[in-house]
């Protein structure tokens, strides 16, 4: 895999202020892409910009709430003005949470759909409309909870399952326009949002000890797969969701 695998590409990465999104922006830039990092967290973006500058990486930042009307159009217009038209979109922004269906209100359900599905849809729709004849690549973020039924995760799992379904459908729509659409499905990854779960003994038994690769994932594990799917190395790959979970979603394993 070339160290300049994404050279010449301009990419938008959402959820880039922390965790998987931040690492994805850094990996993209390290592999030659010009990156617009998007998030609502301005302080996190400033930290990312400082790190990118210290490593001589081409990352610009744009603070934007992706759930508001017109956000996708503003992001793509800003990218075009700062870096030129993008050919890669990494939809990493999302929101996790644990609740059963009976413990989920209508408002809760709408929140998880808006944070995980609607933002992915509006950003992907905008990408499809602006990529042009040259085409491009969209990489969405699903979850292993979209692939395996897990107690107490109804709204989150439903939203992420819809992301995987949307990925397949948009791949079908985009293929004749040279647009590839794929997704990653992370398992338990060490990020600020998952710190509490990682130290929870019950969750450790449910996830970490029940998979063949017995460690907690790190953001780079996911970011490198996203970079592959975004690159021309994956030129004949579209419509798939790749689990990045140490085997948890595909095996039954006990120590």
176 Cβ neighbours under 8 A, 6+ residues apart: none
149 Cβ neighbours under 8 A, 6+ residues apart: 157
Query: Hey, how many other C-beta atoms are within 10 angstroms of the C-beta on 20?
Result: 29
Per-residue pLDDT of the chain (255 residues; tens, 9 = 90+): 557 899 999 999 999 999 999 999 999 999 999 999 999 999 999 999 999 999 999 999 999 999 999 999 999 999 999 999 999 999 999 887 777 778 778 898 898 899 999 999 999 999 999 998 899 999 999 998 788 877 777 888 899 999 999 999 999 999 999 999 999 999 888 777 666 666 665 566 666 667 778 778 899 999 999 999 999 999 999 999 999 988 877 886 666
Q: Where are the beta strands (DSSP E) in 117-164?
A: 136-141
Bridge partner residues of 192 (DSSP)? none
Question: pLDDT tens digits, residue range 130-164?
Answer: 998 899 999 999 998 788 877 777 888 899 999 99
Residue 156 bears catalytic tag: yes
DSSP character at residue 59: E
- 84 near 10, Cβ under 8 Å? yes
Report in angstroms the alpha-carbon separations of 72 from 106, 121, 128, 231, 248: 25, 10, 12, 22, 34
Task: Pick the catalytic residue from 156, 166, 225, 230.
Answer: 156
Question: pLDDT tens digits, residue range 163-199?
Answer: 999 999 999 999 999 999 999 999 888 777 666 666 6
How many DSSP H helices and E strands does the chain contain?
9, 7
Q: Which structural domains are found in the chain, ordered by start?
A: 10-187+218-242 (3.40.50.720)
Q: Where are the beta strands (DSSP E) in the chain?
A: 10-14, 34-39, 59-63, 88-91, 136-141, 179-186, 241-244
- What is the side-by-side strand order in the sheet with 179-186? 59-63, 34-39, 10-14, 88-91, 136-141, 179-186, 241-244
- Max Cα-Cα span within the chain: 54
pLDDT on residue 249 = 78
Per DSSP bridges, beta strands 136-141 and 10-14 are unpaired
Nearest by Cα to 236 from 175, 152, 195: 175
pLDDT on residue 247 = 82
- 244 near 221, Cβ under 8 Å? yes
């Amino acid at each position: 895999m070339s160290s300049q695998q994404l050279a010449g590409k301009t990419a938008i990465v959402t959820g880039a202020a922390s965790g998987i999104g931040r690492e994805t922006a850094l990996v993209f830039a390290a592999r030659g892409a010009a990156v617009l990092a998007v998030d609502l967290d301005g302080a996190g973006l400033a930290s990312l910009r400082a790190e990118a500058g210290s490593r001589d990486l081409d990352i610009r930042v744009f603070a934007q709430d992706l759930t508001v009307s017109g956000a996708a159009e503003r992001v793509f217009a800003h990218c075009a003005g700062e870096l030129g038209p993008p050919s890669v979109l990494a939809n990493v922004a999302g929101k996790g949470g644990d609740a059963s269906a009976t413990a989920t209100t209508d408002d809760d359900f709408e929140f998880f759909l808006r944070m995980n599905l609607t933002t992915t849809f509006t950003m992907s729709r905008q990408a499809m409309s602006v990529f042009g004849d040259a085409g491009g690549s969209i990489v969405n973020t699903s979850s292993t909870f979209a692939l395996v039924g897990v107690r107490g995760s109804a709204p989150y799992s439903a939203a992420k399952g819809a992301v995987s379904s949307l990925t397949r459908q948009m791949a079908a729509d985009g293929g004749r326009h040279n647009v590839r659409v794929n997704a990653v499905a992370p398992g338990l990854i060490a990020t600020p949002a998952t710190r509490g779960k990682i130290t929870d003994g019950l969750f450790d038994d449910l996830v970490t000890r029940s998979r063949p690769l017995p460690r907690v994932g790190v953001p780079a594990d996911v970011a490198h797969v996203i970079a592959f799917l975004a690159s021309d190395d994956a030129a004949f790959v579209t419509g798939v969701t790749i689990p990045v979970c140490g085997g948890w979603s595909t095996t039954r394993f006990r120590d």
